Amino acid sequence: MSEVPVKEQRVTKQRLAISAALDGLEDFVSTQELHRLLYERDVRVSLATTYRILASMAEEGLVDTLRNGEGESVYRRCSATSHHHHLLCRSCGKTVEVEAPAVESWAARIAAENGFTQVQHTVEIYGLCPECGAA
């Protein structure tokens, strides 16, 4: 699978602030939540700039992005360094990173059968974590 070249981004104080804020978070966060967090820390980055920087960081593979239960994009720095997927609790938002070799094989086979190249995919599995399921 060939990689698509990524445009190199300027390192700005806004980008550094967003990066630092993400480093301190364990859970996925929406753009608006991150913007509010920055504001509470007296870091002034416009909401539009926050959206733009998060999108470019996701494109560069610096953060993972997925859609939460409401369909909103959320972002997080993940500990996994290789391609992976997520289990996401619909109740509390807890996320578990999972590798899924069977999914990778299936995606590659389906793409090849249909003549697709440079394929990318994400798998998001929603449910209730053990704690929420027990409640």
Binding site for Zn(2+): residue ranges? 89, 92, 129, 132
Residue numbers in the known binding site are 83, 89, 92, 104, 121, 129, 132
For residues 32, 94, 105, 59, the Cα torsion angle rounded to the nearest 10 degrees is 20
Residue numbers in the known binding site for Fe cation are 83, 104, 121
- C-alpha 99/C-alpha 86 separation (Å) is 8
- Report which of 38, 127, 32, 17 is spatially closest to residue 75, judged by C-alpha positions: 32
Q: Where are the alpha helices (DSSP H) in the chain?
A: 13-23, 31-40, 47-59, 101-113, 130-134
For residues 118, 98, 71, 5, the Cα torsion angle rounded to the nearest 10 degrees is -30
